[in-house]
Amino acid sequence: MQEFEEALLTLREAGRYRQLRRMESASAPRVQVESRELVMCASNNYLGFANDERVIQAACAALQTYGTGASGSRLITGNSTLHEQLEATIARFKQTESAILFNTGYMANVAALTTLFGDGDVIFSDELNHASIIDGCRMSKAQVVIYRHSDMADLQGKMEEFHHAKKKLIVTDGVFSMDGDIAPLPQIVELAQREQAFVMVDDAHATGVLGAHGGGTVDYFQLDARYVQIQVGTLSKAISSEGGFIAGDQVLIDYLRNKARPFIFSTALSPGVVAAALTAIELIGAEADRRNRLHRLSIQLRSALAARGFQVQQGETPIIPVVIGEERRALAFAKRLETLGVFAPAIRPPSVPVGSSRIRLTLMATHSDRDLELILHAFETAGKEVGVIS
Ligand code: PMP
């Protein structure tokens, strides 16, 4: 225990000891956090379905029919009509032949990388990919080559070095989770075609948010789904439930169903979360207005923050990083925001590079215009006090 205690002490001294915050209400634009009402600016409930009455009712009805737990893995006794319906719905939504569920997006990434790639293969991975991709790469026995963030010249150079590898894969986040930028998928696909490599996209933050149909980055760039053979997603963000999935060709999904250890050796998702996800995906198809509003708000808030002198990455996704710089200043900024009624925690190393600590705002389609005014007012006040803007 002494070793762990010392490590914790080091974290405390560096100001990096992490503490849990306690939410006392649903993840909506106004939340109750430790007895205070705040404007929530850090939720992945992008479209507002996590507290939508129709989604809640669907989950309740499934609980009444199927009970609380699936009580078995999919291949033994845990498979239900609902699981099959959800996989078929995801395949339609992603315009692929088939899809397979996992218990989290994290597990879906690990499953894809460790089951499909191994000894003699090479995985080319963007340096800013999500931790679950990094872990999946480490756990696979493939050689891993990191390329500079969305840098196609660097990727091309590195791919040429490994021309004769057995199988090759380019893996990228669709929308990067800390910067909110969109991967250059058309160029990645072009390179992959030239080098005969697979493409895998993790669309955790793009699913339901980007594209004419909310289908994610493939939909956004109007690419043929056959060129992105492995489409990973999570049910925990815009789809407002929990779980993850891989969508792709029938043969790929059949292979995963037979070989992927995270699928085989874990209990199936519980009926309530499966039903919630099913309803949310239906609503994504039926209510494009939510997606359009989210898009509009994201652009509006970015330009309003930039106009006030903040360092904001331009873009169109609901992940809006406001770079503060030094770690302690970002912490002080987040603390002041909170006293002004806005919940938007600081993101610090190791999640982001040293010197680029930031406030990572995320918007929801259900934020009102008044919420946006409050956010801007809090940023302006805190920004002046902490010395981020003049
Ligand atoms: N990929 C990305 C890009 C993510 O941001 C996340 C969630 N933080 C995941 C995968 C993991 O998804 P889940 O929370 O469903 O495990």
Structural domain ending residue among the three candidates 236, 271, 286:
286
Query: Could you say which DSSP state residue 119 is in?
Result: T
Alpha carbons 123 and 4: distance in angstroms, whole number = 34
In a domain, 8, yes or no: no
Tokens at 10, concatenated: 């080091």
Point out the ligand 1 atom lying closest to the alpha carbon of residue 129.
3
- Same-domain pairing of 39 and 182: no
- Same-domain pairing of 258 and 123: yes
Query: Could you give the count of Cα atoms lying within 13 Å of 231 in the half-sphere of its Cβ?
Result: 31
Task: Give the relative orientation of helices 288-307 and 369-386 as an angle to the nearest 10 degrees.
Answer: 30
Q: Which residues 6+ apart lie within 8 Å of 110 measured at CB?
A: 132, 135, 136, 139, 262
Distance 276 CA to ligand 1 centre (A): 18
Point out the ligand 1 atom lying closest to the alpha carbon of residue 106.
16
Alpha carbons 325 and 315: distance in angstroms, whole number = 20
Tokens at 149, concatenated: 């963030």
Q: Radius of gyration (Cα) for the chain, nearest Å?
A: 21
- Same-domain pairing of 162 and 277: yes
In a domain, 121, yes or no: yes
Distance 374 CA to ligand 1 centre (A): 29
Structural domain ending residue among the three candidates 242, 257, 286:
286
Residue nearest to atom 15 of ligand 1 (CA): 105
Alpha carbons 187 and 224: distance in angstroms, whole number = 13
Q: Does this complex have an ipTM over 0.85?
A: yes
We report the CATH number of the domain holding residue 88 as 3.40.640.10
- Same-domain pairing of 181 and 67: yes
**Residue to probe by mutation, ligand 1, list 45, 132, 239, most atoms within 8 Å of CB:** 132
Distance 102 CA to ligand 1 centre (A): 12
Tokens at 42, concatenated: 């850090």
Q: How many residues does the chain have?
A: 390
Q: Number of helices and strands (H, E) in the chain?
A: 14, 14
Alpha carbons 351 and 131: distance in angstroms, whole number = 9
Task: Give the relative orientation of helices 53-66 and 271-286 as an angle to the nearest 10 degrees.
Answer: 150
Alpha carbons 280 and 234: distance in angstroms, whole number = 13
Distance 103 CA to ligand 1 centre (A): 11
Distance 137 CA to ligand 1 centre (A): 15
Return the active site residues.
177, 205, 237
Alpha carbons 382 and 337: distance in angstroms, whole number = 6
3-state secondary structure of 185: helix
**Residue to probe by mutation, ligand 1, list 129, 134, 234, most atoms within 8 Å of CB:** 234
Alpha carbons 356 and 330: distance in angstroms, whole number = 9
- Same-domain pairing of 142 and 156: yes
pTM of the shown model: 0.97
Domain around 215: 53-286
pLDDT at 383: 95
We report the CATH number of the domain holding residue 326 as 3.90.1150.10
Query: Could you give the count of Cα atoms lying within 13 Å of 24 in the half-sphere of its Cβ?
Result: 7
Tokens at 297, concatenated: 């708000």
Reading the chain (390 residues) residue by residue, the pLDDT tens digits are: 999 999 999 999 988 888 899 999 999 999 999 999 999 999 999 999 999 999 999 999 999 999 999 999 999 999 999 999 999 999 999 999 999 999 999 999 999 999 999 999 999 999 999 999 999 999 999 999 999 999 999 999 999 999 889 899 999 999 999 999 999 999 999 999 999 999 999 999 999 999 999 999 999 999 999 999 999 999 999 999 999 999 999 999 999 999 999 999 999 999 999 999 999 999 999 999 999 999 999 999 999 999 999 999 889 999 999 999 999 899 999 999 999 999 999 999 888 889 999 999 999 999 999 999 999 999 999 999 999 998
- Same-domain pairing of 156 and 57: yes
pLDDT at 16: 85
Residue nearest to atom 13 of ligand 1 (CA): 105
Q: Which helix (H) or strand (E) holds 81?
A: helix 81-94
In a domain, 211, yes or no: yes
- Same-domain pairing of 96 and 209: yes
Alpha carbons 338 and 216: distance in angstroms, whole number = 32
3-state secondary structure of 56: helix
- Same-domain pairing of 98 and 112: yes
Structural domain ending residue among the three candidates 231, 251, 286:
286
Residue nearest to atom 5 of ligand 1 (CA): 177
pLDDT at 2: 95
Point out the ligand 1 atom lying closest to the alpha carbon of residue 175.
3
Distance 52 CA to ligand 1 centre (A): 22
State the Cα torsion 154-227-269-290 to the nearest 10°: 90
- Same-domain pairing of 230 and 299: no
Residues with CB under 6 A from ligand 1: 104-106, 109, 130, 132, 173, 177, 202, 204-205, 234, 236, 244
Domain count across the chain: 2
In a domain, 13, yes or no: no
